[in-house]
Structure 1
């Protein structure tokens, strides 16, 4: 049976892609065929002769299975904006059932799939649906990436509450030191350990040049993921 994990964050820019890529490298020690998925990506640049999103490219680099882009990044939007705005500008409708179908096809090709959300948990995908609706449709255990900076405690607590309100399992969280100047980071981590009530899977240091493969060694995976 394929392991599936949904990675979300306390906000945009908290290092979800880095945490997801490192998680893929950690999972490959137990699951030979791993693949990352970026269901909705806003912002495209030229990579290797084709338009692609940098987050999707990072996940592909950490995957051991090559799949068509319509499976690992079914919605690619040109503008780096909130998905609902980028989709409207591109004349695209983000269709959650189609994304779920792409995910199911990935599970037929891989032993583990790491799905990285766009933005925060409730990022708008349309006027009526958000990333939370996508997470609920997939029904996967959720990993919360907390960007360690001032304000992260409130953002983490609210996001954890929103995840659980959807009936989803918060399987663990990742602390990412996005602000190297943050004061009392260990005190913040201690509060989050106590109040999130789920395992801290990894604490990622601040790196000028992040190395997802090296960071994989910092992960402590839940027993049922190995």
Structure 2
């Protein structure tokens, strides 16, 4: 049995990669073959091997499927750390949804036990001047997992994102609370409000970790799904 999910966030820098790599780690421990993808990454460093993105490298390292080349994980690598449509424009490129979907389908055809496709930024981040990153998940018809960066303002961002996912015709398969502000007022009450308003399973609550790692975060993902909806 194979499963695939699209990982999105309420914003950029909310912990999508930490959650994705932790999920892959948990799947590896269950003996599943795993594959993590970051098809579009803005903010790549130039190396002797070419452009490399830290999130994509982390997903590559957490994936058990081999052989696996970096370009399979991150086919669209963009140097500038800004919105993908602007980073692509600066690099003289224009990625399209159909191109990115084609890359993803090629990887999905390898039929890993678990495949996670991580988006860039939030749900409505532009991919180019007329298309959004969300269209990748819509075209692939993947269930979505939402990573909520728990900090002031997260309720509005989470509820609007969940509304957009469902309006786009996709299943919100679950959400993860990733605490970004340990001193947040009424932290537990905010998480309870998320649970009430999102109307989807909470897959875990990840606290601020002293040494963030996939293994450390995986311990807090206690309700992971292991079969995607057909």
TM range (shorter): over 0.9
Further displaced range: 159-168 or 110-119: 110-119
CA distance in 2 between counterparts of 1:78 and 1:222 reads 34
CA contact (8 A) 1:14 1:145 kept: yes
Instruction: Report how many residues are paired.
Output: 225
**Structure 2: any 5+ residue segments left out of the alignment?**
none
Corresponding residue for residue 187 of structure 2:
185
**Structure 1: any 5+ residue segments left out of the alignment?**
none
Corresponding residue for residue 23 of structure 1:
23
Using the size of structure 1 for normalisation, the TM-score is 0.94
Indicate the RMSD between aligned Cα atoms, in angstroms.
Answer: 1.6
Further displaced range: 32-41 or 204-213: 204-213
Further displaced range: 63-72 or 182-191: 63-72
Corresponding residue for residue 41 of structure 2:
41
Corresponding residue for residue 224 of structure 1:
227
CA contact (8 A) 1:72 1:102 kept: no
Residue 163, structure 1, aligned to residue 137, structure 2: no
Encode CA deviations 1:129-183: one digit per residue, 9 max, x unaligned: 1111122112111000000100000000000000000000000000001112211
Encode CA deviations 1:178-219: one digit per residue, 9 max, x unaligned: 112211111001011111111100111102321112221222
Encode CA deviations 1:48-98: one digit per residue, 9 max, x unaligned: 744200110111111112422332111100110100100001011112222
Q: SS of the counterpart of 1:126?
A: coil
